[in-house]
Amino acid sequence: MTDSVFTRIIRREIPAAIVYEDEQVIAFMDAGQINPGHVLVATRRQVETVMELDEVEAAHLFAVATRIARAVQAEFRPTGMTLLQTNKPDGWQTVPHVHVHVLPRHADDGVGLVWPRKDPPLADLQALAARIQL
């Protein structure tokens, strides 16, 4: 796998406005700032999808994203907050390195997240659920 832009930020090959880092994750301002306070929280270990993380890594990633979200809420006072984690291009992932967007939101900020509801019957939902029972 080729080094991602995030791996290059971690190695300090590319400058970034770093908010937080520890032995497992790094958080930095998104260069594309949708709204002021838009932060990316990425794993230090470069893997493409969240499915490649073990439960401890995934828990830590989302724990830090939650802490960052609280800090963004306190400082920027958005009226809403979106935490978004995407996987693979068809899942809207643009950088092949696991990360969570902490995106402060405001009414009429132009950000959209739309998908068509299918509203299947309960029996179909139950059949789908049976296929992935843990």
Cβ atoms of residues 76 and 19 within 8 Å: no
Mean of the per-residue pLDDT values for the chain?
Answer: 96
Which residues are identified as catalytic? 99
What integer is the mean pLDDT of 56-68?
Answer: 98
3-state helix, strand, coil in the chain (%, to 5): 35, 20, 50
pLDDT band at 115 (very low <50, low <70, confident <90, very high): confident
How far apart, in Å, do the first and last CA atoms of the chain sit? 31
The partner residues of 103 in beta bridges, in order of sequence, read: 82
Q: pLDDT over 90 for what percent of the chain? A: 96
Whole-model pTM above 0.85? yes
The domains found in the chain, sorted by start residue, are 5-131 (3.30.428.10)
The burial class, CB within 10 Å (0-12 / 13-18 / 19+), for 42 is: buried
Cβ atoms of residues 72 and 104 within 8 Å: yes
